[in-house]
Each structure stands twice: as C-alpha cells, then as structure tokens.
Amino acid sequence: MNLFEYQGKKLYERYSIPTPSSFFIKNLEDLNNHKSFIFPLVVKAQVQVGGRGKAGGIKLVTSLDELKNAVNEILGMDIKGHKVESLLIEEASTILKEYYISFTLDRSAKKYLMLLSAKGGMDIEEVAEKNPEDLIKVYISPSQGLSEDTVTDAINDAKLDPEFKNELKDIILKLYHLFIAGDCDLVEVNPLAITNNGVLALDSKISLDMNAEYRHEEFSTFEAEIPIPEAEAFAKSKGLNFIKLDGSVGIIGNGAGLVMSTLDVVSEHGGEAANFLDIGGGAKAETVTSALEVLESDSNVKSVLINIFGGITRCDLVADGIIEATKGKLLKWPIIVRLDGTNAKEGLEILRNHENEKIIISESMDDAAKLAVTESQ
C-alpha cells in the first residue's frame, strides 16, 4: 500500500528521522487551527503521483495571504488524473545539497538493496540510465542487516559531503530501521537534503507490506485515509480482490494467475475485461454472491464470465453462490460459467437443475471466453 507523503512523515517522526516540521490540512478552514505561522512555508499537494512540483502542486509562500491563495489554488487541482484533496504545509528549508536514498527488496538477488546518490532532487531513473556510476548500490543480507561501516563506505563512494558524514550516517541507519521494523516494501527519500537546518528527509515515498498488517496498528489507520473507489471498497469488505478496468466483460475467477489469464484470453478473442476479480481460494457461496453484486454496480458490464478451477475452492459451492445471487432476479447480462476441478460435476448439476436462460454453461475456458466476448458486443 502506497502512503501519502504526510503519512510517510508520521512514520519519520516515529522513527526519529529528521524532517521539517509540518501540518496537514484538507480545506482552508483547517488553517484556523493554527494561531501563527513562521514563514516561509511550503504548500505541498498530497497526491500519489510524481512530478507534482512541475504541475504546480508545490508552492513557496512568505505571507498569510500567499498561503491562503496557494491553498485555494492547489486544493482541487488535477495532477495527472489525481485530484488534490489535501495539503501538507511545511517549514521551508534552504537547500544546500540534494541527495537520493532508497531501500527496497531486490527480488532476483533475494537481498535488500540500498541505492544512494549525490544526484538527488531529480529523476533517479534518469541518473541510473545516463550516469550509472553516480548511483551507489549496496546489497544487504536480510539475516545480517546493515552495518555502520557499510554505511560509511557508501557515503564515501557516493561522494556525499564529508562534513556531514555523521549526520548522514545517522539518518541512513534510521531510514533502514524504518524499512525493516516498519515492514516497508519501499522507503525512498528524494531529496535527502543538506539544509540550513541540518540533514533532513524532505520528501517521503513509502510503500507498506500489507502482509505485515497484523503487527502494525498504524497500517489500518493509514489505509482508512487512502480513498478508494466505492466498488473496490465494497469488494474489499467482502474479502474479494477487485480492480476496475475499462471493458465490458465482467470477470470472476479463483486465483490471481487464472484471473489474469482469463483477462488475456478475453482480449485474445477481441473483448475487453471490465474488471479483475479474484474470489481467492476456498470461497464460499456467499463470496460468489458478493462478487456478482460487485459487478452489478458497474454499468459498463455487458456479459459476465465466471472461470473457476477448483482446488481448495469447491465448484458446487460456487454454483450455489451463482443460484443464490440470481434467484428471482431479472439478470441484466448473461453469465457464462466454466467450472473444472474439485466437485465440478456437482456444480454443473446444480446449475443445470436450476434453469435460467441467462446462465450459460461452457465446457472450456477458451469457449467460455469466446462466448462472453460475443455476448458483450
């Protein structure tokens, strides 16, 4: 789960990572909660997309009037399709030098990777491409961790300002601690800056590993603050993995791989999926009923393809769910059902015994996809 900058900065505070003092607002009135301001301040749009500075989403202000104007201007702004709903107002710093640092997992090396560069404040992918020698890569053994000496060497190798090496070492080790103890998939600071107020983490890009939610109370608080579309929120509350797409063939399947593959096969036959919806393993009848409910809320859907290969999932329960969801209803679209694997015979029997001309049984994944595409056109 990707965090907003202001959420990441809450984590900075918790892990004692130096960052400018700041506050968060959702509208102009929120400014009234603050008695006085020490200018200059920076007004920063809270959006999960890069390039907000260039798009006008970051403004330096030196008076209350300028602050109010900036708040009015930036709130509601559209930045690359993201509407600005909130702002972070931050103490401005005089930046002397801008560095880049990140921690992530390198999946092919099966180790953690620290990237460090003296060329911060810009697109790091560009640096990696044009001046790879300016980007220091340090692989970290997950069982041994990051030592102080390794950090010192990296600071030297990256040619960061030696005058600040102790402060830099301190903040880098704290960021690593946040990455590990905070169960982050990514901690990226760009820029990590040397300022008139010392070394500060000026920005934050943090992604959380939601598998670790059980050991972090704050994860669910952060999650609740991140807006998601209504249909996705509903699906989530029912334990379904749902992503809205733009096509007209509604897709329900079990297992991420099989569902992705179903999307592909639909596309191969000239159709376009309306969504990705994975009911997961061991789904009950209610799960399938909820899945169909989710699709009902999408007016783009013209046909529905249910593609199940039972392993842990039992096809008879899937069939029960389909019957339950469609009983006594005038269906808006045809449902093409393909069942294989555990209890497929029983499942198909249930569907056949419950005649409904809108429910069409298909023998194979390929035929089912073809039919669903035809019905959607």
Active site residues: 100, 188
Determine, following the binding rule CB under 8 A, whether residue 365 of this chain makes contact with other proteins.
yes
Neighbours of 125 (CB within 10 A): 9
CB of 76 to other proteins, least distance (A): 24
Determine, following the binding rule CB under 8 A, whether residue 237 of this chain makes contact with other proteins.
no
Determine, following the binding rule CB under 8 A, whether residue 268 of this chain makes contact with other proteins.
yes
Determine, following the binding rule CB under 8 A, whether residue 125 of this chain makes contact with other proteins.
yes
Nearer to other proteins, 19 or 150 (CB): 150
Determine, following the binding rule CB under 8 A, whether residue 284 of this chain makes contact with other proteins.
no
Residues 6+ apart with CB under 8 A from 217: none
Q: How far is CA 11 from the centre of its chain?
A: 17
Binding residues among 288-327 for other proteins as defined by CB under 8 A: 309-312
Paired residues of 82 in beta bridges:
79
Binding footprint of other proteins, residue count (CB under 8 A): 52
Q: What does the alpha-carbon distance between residue 7 and residue 169 come to, in Å, rounded to a whole number? A: 24
Binding residues among 17-46 for other proteins as defined by CB under 8 A: none
**Residue choice 76, 142, 229, 270 for contact with other proteins (CB under 8 A):** 142
Contact by Cβ (8 Å): 89, 22: yes
- Residue 34's closest CA among 69, 67, 79? 67
Question: Please, what sign has the CA dihedral across residues 160, 162, 167, 170?
Answer: positive
Determine, following the binding rule CB under 8 A, whether residue 273 of this chain makes contact with other proteins.
yes
Determine, following the binding rule CB under 8 A, whether residue 245 of this chain makes contact with other proteins.
yes
**Does residue 210 sit in helix, strand or coil?**
helix
Determine, following the binding rule CB under 8 A, whether residue 65 of this chain makes contact with other proteins.
no
CB of 17 to other proteins, least distance (A): 19
Determine, following the binding rule CB under 8 A, whether residue 81 of this chain makes contact with other proteins.
no
Tokens 């602050």: give the residue: 67
Contact by Cβ (8 Å): 167, 199: yes
Determine, following the binding rule CB under 8 A, whether residue 217 of this chain makes contact with other proteins.
no
Determine, following the binding rule CB under 8 A, whether residue 331 of this chain makes contact with other proteins.
no
Determine, following the binding rule CB under 8 A, whether residue 258 of this chain makes contact with other proteins.
yes
- Residue 240's closest CA among 287, 305, 275, 299? 287
**Residue choice 95, 180, 331, 361 for contact with other proteins (CB under 8 A):** 180
CB of 353 to other proteins, least distance (A): 23
Determine, following the binding rule CB under 8 A, whether residue 56 of this chain makes contact with other proteins.
no
**Residue choice 18, 40, 53, 341 for contact with other proteins (CB under 8 A):** 341
DSSP output for 120-176: -SS-HHHHHHH-GGGEEEEEE-TTT---HHHHHHHHHHTT--GGGHHHHHHHHHHHH
Q: What does the alpha-carbon distance between residue 373 and residue 368 come to, in Å, rounded to a whole number? A: 9
- Would you state the structure tokens that stand for residue 346, as one six-digit string? 């029983």
- Would you state the structure tokens that stand for residue 370, as one six-digit string? 């073809």
Contact string (CB under 8 A) for other proteins, positions 104-123, x = contact? -x-xx-xxx-----------
Phi/psi of residue 181, nearest 5 degrees: -70, -25
CB of 317 to other proteins, least distance (A): 14
Nearer to other proteins, 278 or 320 (CB): 278
Interface residues with other proteins (CB under 8 A) are 105, 107-108, 110-112, 125, 141-144, 180, 183, 185, 209, 211-212, 214-215, 241, 243, 245, 253-261, 263-268, 273, 276, 278, 281-282, 309-312, 340-342, 364-366
